[in-house]
Amino acid sequence: MTPEERIAVSSWSLHRLLGSTYPHDLTSNEVGREELTYGEGSETLLDLPSALKRHGYHRLELVSFHLRSRDPIYLEELRASLAHSEVRLQTLLIDAGDITDPVHGDRDRDWIAGWIEVANTLGADNARVIAGKQKPTMAALDRSVAALRILADRNAGSSVRLVTENWFDLLPTPQQVHWLLDQLEGRVGLLMDFGNWSGPGKYEALASIAGRAELCHAKAHFSDIGVLDEADYSACIVAAENAGYRGPYTLIYDNDVLREWDGLRHERDFVIGWSEHEEEV
């Protein structure tokens, strides 16, 4: 892939553009009532693919709570909008559920399975599943592996690749990430997120898992006046690239200083500029 082809955008980065979210209820497969979480939006989700194309983006990661319906007709309309705008649905981010919960884990696993079916209907390349939210005891890790194996079994034969993420309490360090992936033997892949780990060992930790990552959330930090932290962003990319990561970078912008499209543009220009410089060297 060229540097430009490696760029994706998450709908998470466009909260204010979309305005509405549709909260999840883990006891039901119904989508929750619309909430104007970020005020009145200026684009609907069906219009988002064309907006992405106008801004030069051709890969989308879609957060599940941005879908207003799971009705097959609506999902087909969204799939058609993506195809018409030549925007690839890289990942459906299933953003709820705890398969390691000792009481509700099976319920949440089955709820997630329903959203994996949504990913199939939409023609997504991947579906991201949360590995778990419990502390990383062996019991919780074993529950995660068992549930992820069941989800992989149910999704067998599909073109949708299941991935999980270095996120929440279950996977606080590379040690747990490697152990989980080893147990799953390639049946579930890894989405690495720059923003989920912090502290003095952050870059070494990211480097440890980057060689196994298939996807990457490239979150940058901005100051109170909208200046991108180039030192941190560059160190994250260096850690990933030196470890052998060659997949797409999904831009995550989470700041209200700059307009969302402007924040994304700063991130995109930095990633592409870094990549082109490295190619010249």
The label of the residue with tokens 């149910």 reads: 154
Helix/strand/coil for 149: helix
Residue-wise pLDDT for 195-208, tens only, equals 999 999 999 999 99
**Mean predicted lDDT score pLDDT of the chain:** 96
Residue 130 contacts residue 165 (beta carbons within 8 Å): yes
Residue 145's domain spans which residues?
A: 4-280
Confidence check: pLDDT of 98 > 70: yes
| Tokens found for residue 206 | 């990211």
Taking residues 47-70, report their average pLDDT: 98
Q: For residue 276, what pLDDT band results from cuts at 50, 70 and 90?
A: confident
**Contact call for residues 138 and 150 (beta carbons, < 8 A):** no
276 vs 19: which has the higher pLDDT: 19
pLDDT digits (tens, 9 = 90+) for 242-261: 999 999 999 999 998 999 99
**pLDDT number for residue 277:** 67
Contact indicator for 107, 143 with CB cutoff of 8 Å: no
Residue 68: pLDDT over 90: yes
Read off the pLDDT band of 91 (50, 70, 90).
Answer: very high
How many domains does the chain contain in total? 1
Q: Strand 161-165 and strand 189-193: pairing?
A: parallel
Q: How far apart are the first and last CA of the chain?
A: 18
What CATH number is associated with residue 60?
A: 3.20.20.150
Q: Strands (DSSP E) along 141-243, which ranges?
A: 161-165, 189-193, 213-219
Q: Is 14 within 8 Å of 44 (Cβ atoms)?
A: no
Average pLDDT over residues 101-115: 98
**pTM score > 0.95 for this model?**
yes
Pairing status of strand 189-193 against strand 213-219: parallel
Tell me the Cα Rg of the chain: 18
